[in-house]
Each structure stands twice: as C-alpha cells, then as structure tokens.
Amino acid sequence: MFNNQHTVYAIFFTLHSHTTVQVGKLGTIVFPSGNYIYVGSAKRNIQSRIQRHLQVEKRKHWHIDYIRPYSEITHVQTYSSELSECKRVQQLFEQYRGQWVAKKFGSSDCRCFSHLIYYKQ
C-alpha cells in the first residue's frame, strides 16, 4: 500500500463543515470547511504511522488525531527523503496554492508556520 522506503507522507482530507476543535496545547482552532493536506514524517515504520493516523478512535498524540474524527480522508501520498518534511510542506503549499489556518499544527518541533495546508479545489 505504501512505499516503506519513503519517510515523508501527506494525508489529504476534507472537512464538510466548519469545525471547532480543541487541539492539545495549541488551543481551540476553527477549521473552515474544505480540503486539507497534513504533512508528516516517519524515519521507520511509515506504514504503521499512516495506518494509525487513518484510525478515528485512538488516544490523541499528534495534532492530526484531534481533527481526524471530523475529516474524510481522500488519499495518502508518500515521498522519498529527497525533500525534508518541512520542504515538502512548502512544495505542496505552493503547488496547491495553500493557506495557513492553524499555526504550529504538526510543526511544534520546527520553525515552519504549520504542517497543515488548507486549499481550494
């Protein structure tokens, strides 16, 4: 299903209505309805990490876990380490003409504004 040699992944999902969620230490965030890309990485066991993100019922650990119950996953893409997680976010942000809606979402351990991209179809 996924290329286990890859280390970066992007989860594409849709929110069908505006959703307000308490996201761990980030606080309450209002997510507009629309399309999103969440970018993450796993140095090993990328398939297990992605499978966990796809589950709805689970203990909340990553920021994506908080919004997952409200989202419809449309597809998942994995990438080689040619671009780092942070550079992949920038590449996808430009490619999809993205917008930032949640500061530090998925990026609390780096200098990126966010690893969650909101985009119009």
Residues 6+ positions from 119 with CB-CB distance below 8 Å: 34, 35, 36, 37, 96, 97, 98, 99
Digit-coded pLDDT (tens) for 9-62 = 999 999 999 999 999 999 999 999 999 999 999 988 899 999 999 999 999 999
pLDDT for residue 1: 53
DSSP conformational letter for 69: G
pLDDT for residue 4: 73
Question: Rounded to whole angstroms, how far apart are CA atoms 64 and 116?
Answer: 9
Question: Rounded to whole angstroms, how far apart are CA atoms 98 and 108?
Answer: 19
Digit-coded pLDDT (tens) for 78-96 = 999 899 999 999 999 999 9
Q: Which two tokens stand for residue 6?
A: 């890859």
- Rounded to an integer, the average pLDDT of 106-120 is 94
Q: Answer whether residue 63 shows pLDDT above 90.
A: yes
Q: Is the dihedral of CA 58, 23, 108, 86 positive or negative?
A: positive
